Chain A
Amino acid sequence: MDLSIKTNSLVGLLGPNGAGKTTTIKLLSTLLLPDEGTATVNGFDVSRQANEVRSCIGVVTGGERGLYWRLTGRENLLFFARLYGVREDMARPRIDELLKLFELDDRADDNVEKYSRGMKQRLHLIRGLVHDPPILLLDEPTLGLDPNSAVVVREFIKEKLQRNQGKTILLTTHYMEEADQLCDKIAIIDHGKVIANDTPGELKTGLRKTDVLRINATGVPSSLSSDLKQVEGVEEVKMSVIDPVTGLTELLVHTRDAEESLPQLTELMVKSGVRIRLIEQSKPSLEDVFINLTGRRLRD
């Protein structure tokens, strides 16, 4: 993997499950050592200068763990501030400010065990910011949040953290829209390798050289993909089963001219006994880029 992230940029790390996203975050946050090669954060080597790296990063992981449930939200934050070496006279006002910003101030003195999942996630985020690090590693920061909370968190990441405070952010997410909306650049990784690294716009433009037809159908024979490729103008066909029970399958047909290819494609499918449920010509989304590069959906 070869990846560099500029100061004050917000980079998304996308990849299917097992691609190495969390491993990358763990490696950059000094929880894992690289088998080979090097990684530096803020100029510090993750293997040899682990403490310097830890001091300048804030790591936010998704989920409900990582907090002390018998302590209040404020006590949790003070505890971690102390562990980061932040003096109390500096930590307390910062914690108050962050609690207010994330709308947790009215519940700050309740034990964490009484928090909803969304509140715990917001507390995770504050914990990652409590020592005001210049670099943030956010591993699925909106995982499990309700849509409203997710919007608040996304706005905060983009507006406050990146634009106003100039933080450098590496973010992993399963939500394509989130990556599209937030990231200056997106690195798509698969099997531990960066297979694309560009702005969301450029990644999509790269795919727009061809038209994309999205076809949902049942009764799709396995040979259909190769049959469709024989149609003039068709450059690529990706097939994935959406519903194994009904056999509902999605076909993404990349063709030079959708209008020209469509009649032949439908005729061929009908002859093969395929029952077509939906045909639409889609503009390439980040999801299409992802599928085109990895052959899998993000959630696979």
Chain B
Amino acid sequence: MRLEHEWLTFKGVILRHFKEFVSYRASVLATIIWPLPLLALNVYQYLGLASEQQVGQILSSKYGISSFSGMIILGTVVYLLYNRMLWGTGASLQEERFNGTIEALLLTPANRMTILLASGFSSLLEGAWWIVGVFLLSWIIFGVQPAVSDWGAVIVALLSTMIALVAVGVFFASFFVLTRAADQLATSLQAPIRYASGVAFPVAALPVVFQLLAYILPVTYGIEALRSTVVQQGTLAGLVWVLGPLYIFTFVLIVTGHFVLRRVEAQAKRTGSLYKI
């Protein structure tokens, strides 16, 4: 019975998000267009300095990266999905409040975590275009050839990264609801993550301090996992060192998000307000 309720909640939230998403045509258009210049920016900042072969040689000899375009495309895809989580799931509760629907939502006996997780998966579905579209474009425009030796590993890497990103969204959502400045916070979290997780360059190119920072970000592990399996013939066994920390982060983020959300709701019940910051 409880499981059926969870499923109904999950399905309800996903269908609602999808209907709302497609009802804003400008939003759909932006979702399609936005990744393209970002991808081009990441590629041409290299090609402005040297030819693709030269860049490829440097990356290969210095960092062991076999595909320059593949490195950038995979980094960009994960970063785009991260952004989707930040603005979609992260800001979802805040948006409910602005729309005046949060009270109606909290009046239901639905599991709050299920609502947030469903919101996260909705964001992934909306961002699925980025995975498919960007890959297709990368083949067409940049001639990227995937070097896959283990498709199972690719699927595991992709799913693990997606689940980790949902956890990131849940984590942010539970904190963003505490403040009226969620939009500003989300904006301020874009560039640092883009920099520190090595979206458009190898993390090894960063100063040591920032490399340490990079490895406390789940986005970094997601990018590494996909780069390893899609363009570097990585296998499942070789992914352990990446997926291990990724799962730990996923677990920690979900548990922390759940705990914070419960605290936030308890506080709202005591004070009549969600705002803290």
Contact = CB atoms under 8 A, between A and B. Distances in A.
A31 B4 CA distance: 25
A71 B16 contact: yes
A75 B109 CA distance: 19
Contacts of B23: 70, 111
Contacts of A237: none
A75 B19 contact: yes
A29 B1 CA distance: 23
B150 interface: no
A68 B100 CA distance: 9
Contact of B20 (A59, A70, A87): A70
B11 A82 contact: yes
Contacts of B4: 85, 87
B107 interface: yes
Given A66-B104, A78-B12, A82-B12, A55 B99 contact: no
Contact of A68 (B5, B16, B108, B272): B16
A84 B9 CA distance: 8
A68 B20 contact: yes
Interface string B1-44: 10011001101110110011001100000000000000000000
Interface string A44-79: 000000011011010101001111111100010011
A83 B100 contact: no
Contacts of B65: none
Looking at chain B's contact residues, is the secondary structure mostly helix, strand, loop, or mixed? helix
Interface residues of B, number: 31
Contacts of B266: 33
A30 interface: yes
A254 interface: no
Contacts of A122: none
Contacts of A87: 4, 8
Contacts of A79: 12-13, 15-16
A82 B15 CA distance: 11
A64 to B, nearest CB: 8
Which of A31, A33, A82, A84 has most B Cβ within 10 Å? A82
A100 B101 CA distance: 24
B110 interface: yes
B255 interface: no
A127 B15 CA distance: 18
Contacts of A83: 8-9, 12, 105, 108-110, 115
B104 A80 contact: yes
A26 to B, nearest CB: 8
A32 interface: yes
Contacts of A66: 100-101, 103-104
Given A32-B272, A33-B266, A79-B16, 4 more contacts: A54-B107, A80-B108, A82-B8, A87-B4
Interface of A: 26, 29-33, 51-52, 54-55, 57, 59, 61, 64-71, 75, 78-80, 82-88, 111, 127
Those 9 A-B pairs whose CB atoms lie nearest each other, nearest first: A65-B100, A82-B12, A85-B5, A83-B108, A83-B110, A54-B109, A82-B8, A66-B104, A70-B23
5 contacts: A31-B269, A61-B103, A68-B20, A68-B99, A75-B15
